[in-house]
Structure 1
């Protein structure tokens, strides 16, 4: 569901766990400091937006979240590294997921089409956020995040934030082959179900990131998996989309304990 301009998961997480995804519309009482092409609530500091505007947006986000003290920002590289959020407070670490055990410290990922996945333990003792573009997803970033909890997968739940939908995510044959040859723990049938052949480009497909991620997490045995069906490409008013716009901002999906 949406609260003001923030998206709050409808999931059975423990009461001490707070999760949300931002939009380009800002937070209650603050539409955002960024101007076109980043208008209005860009949270990415690597997209050539004015850094003072980004900092103002980030400060407003923290102020809008009850019990949130700081956010562990990452230097995302479409990889599979998972870091401890506590080590990313002073400076961003090169990783595509983080796990937090500290109250008030959010794990967070920036996206503009890639799939953000928020995790928490069913007892509320730990949370994590992962950035799953097709490369990181295929290489195992979600599986690595599950392992980082160091508990049975049956004690975890996962929520998918806004991402590009399969209707707009056309990929070449190399992407399909990468999943067939290297996507661990997922059957060929499940992969085939997530790749719809293009009707006008031979060998191309429309890929469903949500379906691929869901299959892997279901096969790992998570207690609950769900999330948003909101498409970053289709919803111009609410979301940044790199594939649609090229030069654009980033929204964040974050999760923390309070």
Structure 2
């Protein structure tokens, strides 16, 4: 492994020398790109993740000079993957650079995937507000590319974290929107009830009784089986008053 890292260092030095050269024959950028890729591969073999990421970052810069934007974006992603093994937080800037390149190319679906990767990295660090931001951006791009299921998957993540952050109104709106879309799809229709249930719980956490009734009526327009929300409401009320037995009478609602 140490030998692999040593080879990586040698390839990096050779690439740096090549980029600083003034040769008139051949293309120094193409040759440097080959050396940098070899350096990155050797660093990965040696599990030297930060040097590998740096090699990929330099490789991406060279590929941009060669106008190989797709290759450059891929190199940024590979660099981020390497950093994920050492420090997920440090991987985010590389993924953001990949997003910029993909967006500039009009590859919005690929850009959305990288935004989702950033959100997942933030999620692993417990940075839920930051994760919500990137999941929202990913959802917007997926929706632009007509990838509705991917967009909703990201939006549900936003709803989940919003609820955990006590942003109940925002979470309820997202759950309701996703439920409405699911109800219009024969394959996803049964999932609408679960989303409406989550929306109802969020509404119960912040809304007045009048608004709860209004929302329940609206939810029934989406799915007639949302009577289960009444059960949730009564059980929460019973729990708040310490009367757990009151929830048993709700069975008839279903």
Normalised to the residue count of structure 2, the TM-score between the two structures is 0.28
Point out the structure with max Rg over C-alpha.
2
Greater relative contact order (CA < 8 Å, ≥ 6 in sequence) = 1
Normalised to the residue count of structure 1, the TM-score between the two structures is 0.28
Higher strand share: 1
